[in-house]
Structure 1
Amino acid sequence: MTDSMILSGTANHIDSLRQTLIAGSEKVQQQTILQLAELGNEGLEVLQEFLLKRRENPPTWIDGKAYQVVYNSDAPTAKQFLQTYFPQGIVPLKSACGINYHPLQQLLVNQKFQEADLLTIQQMCEVAGSTAVQRKWLYFTDIDNFPVEDLQTINQLWLIHSEGKFGFSVQREIWLGSGKNWDKLWMKIGWKDGNKWTRYPHEFTWDLTAPKGHLPLSNQLRGVRVIASLLSHPAWL
Structure 2
Amino acid sequence: MPDNTKQPREYDAVLGGQAPPPIDGLVLGGIEGVKHRLDSNSQESRIAALSDALKYGKEGQELLNQIFLTETGLLQWVAYDLLFQSATEDEKQNLLQHIPLQSEVGADYSSLRNLLASGEWLQANLETREKIQEAVGSKNQYYYHMYDLHNLSQTDLRTIDQLWVKFSNNHFGFSIQKRILLEEGCQFYKNKFHLRSFYNPNYRHNINNIYDTYKKLGWPLAILKASQFSFNSSAIGSLPSMITEKQVRHALDYQIVLIYRSDL
Confirm or deny that 1:134 pairs with 2:158: no
Confirm or deny that 1:58 pairs with 2:58: no
Assess if the C-alpha contact under 8 Å between 2:218 and 2:238 holds in 1.
Answer: yes
- Specify which of 105, 120, 140 is matched with residue 112 of structure 1: 120
Larger displacement relative to structure 2 (144-153 or 178-187): 178-187
Alpha-carbon offset, residue 102 of structure 1: 1.3
Alpha-carbon offset, residue 63 of structure 1: 5.2
The aligned amino acid for 2:219 is W
The aligned amino acid for 2:80 is P
Task: Write the mapping of 1:175-194 to structure 2, written as runs, cut at 5 A.
Answer: 175-178=181-184, 179=186, 180-181=199-200, 182-191=210-219
Confirm or deny that 1:143 pairs with 2:170: no
Task: Write the mapping of 1:82-93 to structure 2, written as runs, cut at 5 A.
Answer: 89-93=97-101
Match of 1:162 in 2: 168
Kindly tell me: are residues 162 and 118 of structure 1, through their superposed partners in 2, closer, same or farther at Cα, counting changes over 3 Å? same
Q: C-alpha separation between the residues in 1 aligned to 2:87 and 2:159?
A: 16
Match of 1:98 in 2: 106
Question: TM (normalized to structure 1)?
Answer: 0.58
Q: C-alpha separation between the residues in 2 aligned to 1:214 and 1:133?
A: 28
Kindly tell me: are residues 65 and 207 of structure 1, through their superposed partners in 2, closer, same or farther at Cα, counting changes over 3 Å? farther
Q: C-alpha separation between the residues in 1 aligned to 2:258 and 2:222?
A: 20
The aligned amino acid for 2:237 is G
Alpha-carbon offset, residue 151 of structure 1: 0.1
Kindly tell me: are residues 163 and 148 of structure 1, through their superposed partners in 2, closer, same or farther at Cα, counting changes over 3 Å? same
Q: C-alpha separation between the residues in 2 aligned to 1:63 and 1:105?
A: 20
SS at match of 1:123: helix
Match of 1:221 in 2: 248
Equivalenced residues, count: 164
Question: TM (normalized to structure 2)?
Answer: 0.53
Determine which structure has greater relative contact order: mean sequence separation of CA pairs < 8 Å that are 6+ residues apart, divided by chain length.
1
Kindly tell me: are residues 145 and 199 of structure 1, through their superposed partners in 2, closer, same or farther at Cα, counting changes over 3 Å? closer
Alpha-carbon offset, residue 103 of structure 1: 1.5
Identical amino acids, percent of aligned pairs: 26
Q: C-alpha separation between the residues in 2 aligned to 1:64 and 1:100?
A: 28
Kindly tell me: are residues 209 and 146 of structure 1, through their superposed partners in 2, closer, same or farther at Cα, counting changes over 3 Å? same
The aligned amino acid for 1:207 is F
Alpha-carbon offset, residue 200 of structure 1: 2.9
The aligned amino acid for 1:217 is S
Kindly tell me: are residues 64 and 222 of structure 1, through their superposed partners in 2, closer, same or farther at Cα, counting changes over 3 Å? farther
- Whichever structure has more helix as a proportion of its residues is 1
The aligned amino acid for 2:151 is N
Structure 1, residues 48-70: CA drift from partner, whole Å, max 9, x if none?
A: x9xx8674432347859536755
SS at match of 1:129: coil
Kindly tell me: are residues 189 and 68 of structure 1, through their superposed partners in 2, closer, same or farther at Cα, counting changes over 3 Å? farther
Assess if the C-alpha contact under 8 Å between 1:168 and 1:213 holds in 2.
Answer: yes
RMSD: 3.0
Assess if the C-alpha contact under 8 Å between 1:68 and 1:109 holds in 2.
Answer: no
Alpha-carbon offset, residue 112 of structure 1: 1.2
Confirm or deny that 1:153 pairs with 2:139: no
Confirm or deny that 1:211 pairs with 2:211: no
| 5+ residue gaps, structure 2 | 1-57, 69-78, 187-198, 201-209
Structure 1, residues 66-103: CA drift from partner, whole Å, max 9, x if none?
A: 36755xxxxxxxxxxxxxxx6x8232111000011111
Return the index of the structure with the highest Cα Rg.
2
| 5+ residue gaps, structure 1 | 1-48, 71-85
Assess if the C-alpha contact under 8 Å between 1:62 and 1:163 holds in 2.
Answer: no
